[in-house]
Amino acid sequence: MGKNKLARFAENKILPNVIQPTREDALKGFKLKGKWRENFFKNDNPIVLELGCGKGEYSVGLAKTFPEKNFIGVDIKGARFWFGAKEAVDSNMTNVAFLRTQIELVDYFFAENEVDEIWITFPDPQIKYKRTKHRLTHPDF
């Protein structure tokens, strides 16, 4: 296991800007679906998703640059986005959050028209031809 990975997982559980629902939470009706603005961000600002946010540096950078928008970095690798989540908390940023889930479940977390923009900054290339249907940018996705 990577350096400090377990410590990062543990800290993610207490960081206020990290949401780590189970697959069952998503499928049975996620509590923030349709209520991100009022119950999490507590404002009416637009919501921007960054899919595959990695370490979260882009989500945090965008949140600093555009304080009038809410940003949510989405990734399955919690130990990786811990960096961005920690920086945002340490900087007292309230317009950035991190959602740990599989990207193909994203529809279960947001209501129709709740998200204003979606950013895919560094998509997994899925280089082999037989994997093209798994690309985030594939029309079927």
Task: Find the catalytic residue in 90, 116, 124, 140.
Answer: 124
Q: Which amino acid is at 61?
A: G
Range list of H helices, 1-141: 5-12, 23-29, 57-65, 78-90
Cα–chain-centroid distance for residue 38? 18
3-state secondary structure of 91: coil
Tell me whether residue 116 is one of the annotated catalytic residues.
Answer: no
User: How many C-beta atoms lie closer than 10 Å to residue 105's C-beta?
Assistant: 17
Q: Which two tokens stand for residue 22?
A: 């189970």
Cα–chain-centroid distance for residue 54? 9
| Residue pair 101/26 in contact by the 8 Å Cβ criterion | yes
3-state secondary structure of 61: helix
Q: Which residues are catalytic?
A: 124
